[in-house]
Amino acid sequence: MAKVPLDEFYGIVPSENELSILYLGYSGILVGIGGKYILFDPADMLRGAEESLKKLDVVLYTHGHYDHFHLDSAKSIFKATKAFFVAEKSVYEEIREFIPDERRFLAKVGEFRVGELNVKAVEGLHVGRIMLYRLSSDTWSLFHGGDSDYVPLRFEADVALLPTGKPSPTASPEAALKMALDLKPKVVIAIHGSDSQHKTLQKLLSEKMPEVKFLAPEKMVPTKIAFK
């Protein structure tokens, strides 16, 4: 099993107009932006490398399905980083036993502050409850769509991490396009889907939003991309 290249990821220092990413798989992704490090839906895809997380500000879980959340990995992440955790209710109930109140946030619909970041949570559309997140500071904004079907998004984001499908029964390239049309991002990063579904989204974006940069990241390959 290939090693998770965390040292290489942390060696990439994005400028104020860039973000660095390490795509883990499904909707799991580690992001560096504006000096902050954010981890979404890691499940167990860090493969025991949690102790090598050199810096992590916040971990967010959209829901509790196996490809998004893994309890032992969450415990290891918190032990290694003491990061803030934001979680949908089913996940929140599992992590509350080992994460103190001041580091743990229940994802409720609305806006709240997590450390130095603004978080807006909206309920998505999936098999069971799912929460989608917009994180922002004074200089950037970032949206993560889990593996949700389309729901109206009444806000914008510089960067949109959008699911295209497989193995989700709800996500699709068409739903991702509708999210992008709402969000008006500068960059779309495709997650949680097959190569063909990512290509379909890329084609739809080229037709409807040709000004938007598109990236379908390779798993376990650190990279960076400009968003301004």
pLDDT in tens, 176-205: 999 999 999 999 999 999 999 999 999 999
Residue 60 is assigned to a structural domain of this protein: yes
Residue 46 is assigned to a structural domain of this protein: yes
Residue 26 is assigned to a structural domain of this protein: yes
Is the pTM higher than 0.85? The answer reads yes
Residue 225 is assigned to a structural domain of this protein: no
Position 3 pLDDT exceeds 90: no
Print the domain residue range for 180. Answer: 18-218
Among 194, 207, 203, which Cα is nearest to 163's?
194
What CATH number has the domain bearing residue 156?
A: 3.60.15.10
Position 134 pLDDT exceeds 90: yes
Position 2 pLDDT exceeds 80: no
Position 127 pLDDT exceeds 80: yes
Residue 9 is assigned to a structural domain of this protein: no
Q: Number of folded domains in the chain? A: 1
Residue 8 is assigned to a structural domain of this protein: no
DSSP strand E in 34-83: where? Answer: 36-40, 58-61
Residue 11 is assigned to a structural domain of this protein: no
